[in-house]
Structure 1
C-alpha cells in the first residue's frame, strides 16, 4: 500500500473535509437547505426493469401494473426537496409517469405524478395540466419538487417553477423511474442522474 506523508496527508485530509461537507444550497428554492440521503427500495413489476439508474418498461402492454421505480423513505412535516435529471433514450409508448410524490399513512396514494407523452409534453396526471414541453428522446431534463408539508408542493423544470398546489399535512415519500399510467403503455427507457435530496 502506498503511504502519504506530510503535505500529501494534509491535502488528502482537506479533500476529505470538502467531500464530506453537505451542500448548503439547492438548485432552486430559498434556503438554507441541509443535504440528506434517505433510504430507498426498488420496485420492478410487470415488464419493469431496473439497471442502476436506468428504468425500462420493455412491453407495450396497456393494462396491469407495469413499473420500474425507486421508492424513498417516508417523511412527515418540514420542507423537502428532490432533484434529479432524466433523459429518455427510447420511447415507443406514451403517458408514462416519471416522478411521483406520494402520500403515506392513512391517506396513502398518489398526490402528484409527473408524466410524459410521446412528443415530449410533461403533464400532471391528475388534472392533465401541461407542466412543460421538450422532454423528447435524447434531451436531458432536470426536475425539482419542493414539498412544504401543510403548505405547498412546487414543481420546477430546468430551474423554472412550473406548478404549485396546496400540500395537506401528513406523511409523504418520493418516487422516480418509469410507471405506466392508467391510459399509458410502454416501451420506454429512461436514464436518471444527479439524484439529490435536501430538507429544511
Structure 2
C-alpha cells in the first residue's frame, strides 16, 4: 500500500506541474511558436493618458496628436504573433486606432497596419477602410491576434477567426496598442487591454 501511495502521489505531483506550466502554443496558427517578452515604453501625448493597461483620450479634439499607447521593442525578420484582449468601457468619439503594427525600417517608417474602431463597434483598417469586424462595441471583450510573417503577409484574427490579410514587406517592425486618434477621428474613449502575449518563430 505504501508503494502504491507513493507512486500515486508522485504521479499527482507530475500532473500538477504539467498543468501549472505555461502553454507555449499560440491561440491561432498553432505549432512551433516560442513565447517572447519584449520590452515596452508608454507613450502619452495630448489628452492621452495611460494607467496600467487602461488607455484614455479625454478630449474631443479633432486636431493635434492625441495618444496613449504601449510601444514594444523592434523585431526584424521571422514570424511574430501578438495576442491581446480589449474592452471599450466608454466611447464618445470615433475612429480611434487600438492596435498598430509599425514599420521601423530606414526610409519606410510609419504605421504600416492600424486596426481602428468607429463609434458603433465597426473595426476597420485605417489604410483602405476595410471592415474587419463589427465586434468592437462598448462593453464587449474582443480578442485580437496579429501574425506578421515578415516579407510575406500580415494576418489579423478577431475572436479567433481570420479577418484580414495584407502583404508584409521585408524589414523591421514593432507592435503598439492603446488608443490613438486617427487623422479623421476624435475622442473621448477609454479602453482596457488584458492578457497580452507575444510569440515568434
TM normalised by structure 2 equals 0.90
1:103-159 CA-to-partner distances (Å, cap 9, x unmatched) read 003111111000000000000000000000021110000000000001110000000
What residue in structure 2 maps to residue 146 of structure 1?
147
Q: Tell me which residue corresponds to 1:191.
A: 192
Take 1:14 and 1:52, find their aligned partners in 2: how far apart are those partners?
34
Q: Which stretch shows the higher mean deviation, 78-87 or 21-30?
A: 21-30
Distance 1:177 1:103, change over 3 A: same
Tell me what 1:108 maps to. 109
2-side partners of 1:157 and 1:134: how far apart?
Answer: 8
- 2: CA distance between counterparts of 1:38 and 1:138? 29
Gaps of 5+ in 1: 1-6
In structure 2, the residue corresponding to 1:65 is in which secondary structure? coil
Number of aligned positions between the proteins: 190
Whether 1:79 and 2:79 are equivalent positions in the alignment is yes
Give the structure 1 partner of residue 5 of structure 2: none
Q: Which residue of 2 aligns with 1:175?
A: 176
User: 1 CA distance for matches of 2:79 and 2:150?
Assistant: 6
Q: Hey, what's the Cα distance between the residues in 2 that align with 1:74 and 1:96?
A: 23
Whose Rg is larger?
Answer: 2
> Matched residue of 2:135: which SS?
coil
Preserved contact between residue 22 and residue 34 of structure 1 (Cα < 8 Å): no
- Residue 98 of structure 1 corresponds to 98
1:96/1:185 contact within 8 Å kept:
yes
How far residue 31 of structure 1 moved from its aligned partner, in angstroms, is 1.5
Q: Which runs of 4+ in 1 moved over 2 A?
A: 13-19, 21-24
- Which residue is equivalent to 2:33? 33
Deviations 1:53-80 (A, max 9, x none): 0000000011000000000000000000
CA RMSD of aligned residues (A): 1.8
Cα shift at 1:43: 0.2
What CA distance in whole angstroms lies between the structure 1 residues aligned with 2:17 and 2:87? 31
- CA positional deviation for 1:32: 1.5
1:120 aligns with 2:121: yes
Matched, 1:161 2:199: no
Q: CA deviation at 1:17?
A: 7.9
Distance 2:19 2:120 in 1: 42
